A and B are shown apart, each in its own frame.
Chain A
Amino acid sequence: MSELRPKRMTNQPIFEDNDPQDELVTLNLGPTHPATHGVFQNVLQIDGERIVSGVSTIGYIHRAFEKIAEHRPYYQITPLTDRLNYCSSPINNMGWHMTVEKLLGIEVPKRVQYMRVIVMELARIADHIICNGILGVDTGAFSGFLYVMQEREFIYEIYEEICGARLTTNIGRIGGFERDFNEVAFAKIRQFVKRYPPVLSEFEDLFNRNRIFIDRTSGVAAVDPETALSYSWSGPLLRATGIDYDVRVNEPYSSYEEFDFDIPVGENGDVYDRYMVRNEEMRQSIRIIEQALNKIEQEPKGIFHADVPEIYLPPKEEVYNNMEALIYHFKIVMGEIDTPKSEVYHAVEGANGELGFYLISDGGRAPYRLHFRRPSFINYQMYAPMSRGMLLSDAIINMSSLNVIAGELDA
């Protein structure tokens, strides 16, 4: 038996050097522990309840997306991006579409940009709901989680109206959307904008001034801005330390510069600040969606994609009755669109931070190289070093507030 797995064991972390009398306990946190919220492992060395040191092992659901992407035409990469951060798939989809549009030089109509903003902000809310709800569960309060999960379900119903799917959405095409939002979708978005703020207030009433919640989260895992920057943190985690870096403002995409919204920042970078930043971001997202709905009213109706027949699939009846449409359909499906030989980096503000797409095109049907800058992967590497000296139960809270999504961690 022992010769079957020798190599694996040699690479496992061994904690001999700091434990001469063999007093410390080695604990496997994960890969299937419910508190890890995903498939990743932490081997911790604990002294009573205090963590002495830890090593993170990741890669349990690595699916080689970067390699697969080198063999797929551009439009077939969208479903791969779904499965990065599967709690907010639409942001990944839109980020990928915008990257390709930047490469191909496609200008998307304003109405489409506003529709994209709506979808992205809904996804941000859904993602923050998960994170803050689970944080409540991990501190021992289950009911708040149920209040907001109902609203997440409503967001998923909106996705269903828009694209038919719920979790891995595959919303949109390169150049726009595959279909217009229908009346029901718009009605549900308006309804959501109205009904969500009171629910969020109720959720905040349960937690914000709750003695137990404050005791469990305030001052736990506090990070100073210099350390956060040194570890390349981004998103709500970085903003909780007090740095107002948001890609939506620094490098506006999809007409974010036209919207009026605030960037909440924290002060201490602890779990409580991260929770507060995420809550306030949900409020700001609601503000953005309201403005986007108003802006769509001003735009001509019925436009849901850019006028780029060589990139955007024609409607099916056109394909059967129109020669040009048939040719374009064939070329797009076979992946024979011409792309410039260039490279592009495009970043969007994902729910966890800066989600970047580094795309190198050699003019072929598939990317020559595609690299995802995944915020969960980069945020999570600080987890083991920062757990040192922490109580085990604090480390669990810290992990849920990092909001590590295993799909994004491993790609």
Chain B
Amino acid sequence: MAKLDNQTLIGHLQKAFGSDISSVEEPFGLLSIQVSKERILSILAFLKDDKELQFIYLTDITAVHYPAQALSIAVVYHLHSLVNNIRIRIKVFLDGAKPEIPSATSLWNGANWMERETYDFFGVIFEGHPDLRRILNVDEMEVFPMRKEYPLEDPNRVDKKDFFFGR
């Protein structure tokens, strides 16, 4: 086990994709890279199909909202190479007004609900997804609740007001 370390892994990726890979970090030993949305699908496919890397396991897809940034939505992929026992985190930053990214459902069936959940909470449009509907929230909802501008609860509620200590 653990034949592969982060240095070798990033070497492989940079040989194949060169300057497409930016802001390489290793927070707590987990290699974290950033790519553009044009290259994300080819990088995922490369990681999955490469005979040595074998990132066959899609652990998770989620998103993060950074309202202060120009590209405000970050879609985060966690992949796991079970054979080499190593994980990688891939981030793609998208325009918050029109967050569109190719769907990974062609590579993993399991990406289906993960992407639906991400769409449900952040409004990320996964192009090519077979069934991009809301999954946990009600269908009538018109907002994307995990975005930072959406309040946790209505600030004008009076029933929870405490006249001595505020809220």
Give chain A's interface residues, CB within 8 Å of chain B.
7-8, 11, 58-59, 62, 64, 66-68, 70-71, 102-103, 227, 229-233, 243, 245, 250-251, 342-345, 347, 354, 356, 358, 360, 368-369, 371, 373, 377-378, 381-382, 385, 410-411
Contacts and interface: CB of A to CB of B under 8 A. Distances in A.
Contacts of B138: 8, 59
Measured as residues with beta carbon below 8 angstroms from the partner, the interface class of chain B is 35 or more
Contacts of B134: 11, 59
A230 B108 contact: yes
Contacts of B101: none
Given A102-B28, A232-B110, A342-B28, A8 B139 contact: yes
A259 B73 CA distance: 42
Most chain B beta carbons < 10 A, residue from A70, A232, A251: A232
A8 B140 contact: yes
Contacts of B9: none
Interface of B: 1, 27-28, 30, 32, 56-60, 62, 64-65, 76, 78, 82, 85, 87, 89, 108-110, 112-114, 117, 121, 133-140, 145-146, 150, 152
A20 B140 CA distance: 30
A343 B30 CA distance: 10
A410 B136 CA distance: 7
A371 B28 contact: no
- The 3 residue pairs across chains A and B that have the minimum distance between CB atoms: A232-B110, A59-B136, A381-B113
A139 to B, nearest CB: 28
Contacts of B109: 227, 230-231, 382, 385
A245 B65 CA distance: 32
A369 B148 CA distance: 10
Contact of A358 (B76, B150, B152): B76
B28 A232 contact: no
B23 to A, nearest CB: 13
B152 A229 contact: no
Contacts of A62: 136-137
Contacts of B82: 229, 243, 245, 250
Contacts of A381: 110, 112-113
B28 A373 contact: no
